[in-house]
Amino acid sequence: MRFLIASIVLLLIAFVIKVDLQEGSLPLASFYASSIPSCDEIPQESYVVVKIQQGDTIYSLFSATPSPVKTTFPERLAHFYKLNPHLNLQPLVPGDTVFVPIISHAKENCTN
């Protein structure tokens, strides 16, 4: 019985600590001003025109044209379908040309 009560108390303490770390005083520390100059990074999207070859996949196109900024596959796939809406739920056909997105960041609005 002591073990059951001790484990419930331990789980309750862990839950309170987890909630405090997510919604408590530590996340509010980001509101304090810092002396480091800040620059807003605005994503800039450009693209490369690629002619589809036999056996090409979207993953192989992304591998052949890497982006300077590290992005996840789903993010880049969303940009790909935004540039190529005609390929949504369609296979890649050899001979077609597609736009492959390349995402980079430009620093703007720099303040001291």
Domain check: are 6 and 42 in the same one?
no
Find which of 23-32, 66-75, 89-98 is predicted with most confidence, using mean pLDDT. 89-98
Domain check: are 20 and 47 in the same one?
no
The pLDDT assigned to 16 comes to 81
Domain check: are 97 and 74 in the same one?
yes
CA 12 – CA 5 distance, rounded (Å): 11
Q: What is the pTM of this model?
A: 0.55
User: Average pLDDT of 13-35?
Assistant: 68
User: Average pLDDT of 7-21?
Assistant: 84
Domain check: are 83 and 102 in the same one?
yes
User: Average pLDDT of 60-86?
Assistant: 89
Range of the domain at 8: 1-32
Number of domains in the chain: 2
When comparing pLDDT for 8 and 105, which is higher?
Answer: 8
Domain check: are 99 and 76 in the same one?
yes
Domain check: are 82 and 42 in the same one?
yes
Domain check: are 14 and 41 in the same one?
no
Say if residues 111 and 33 touch (Cβ distance below 8 Å).
no
The pLDDT assigned to 68 comes to 83
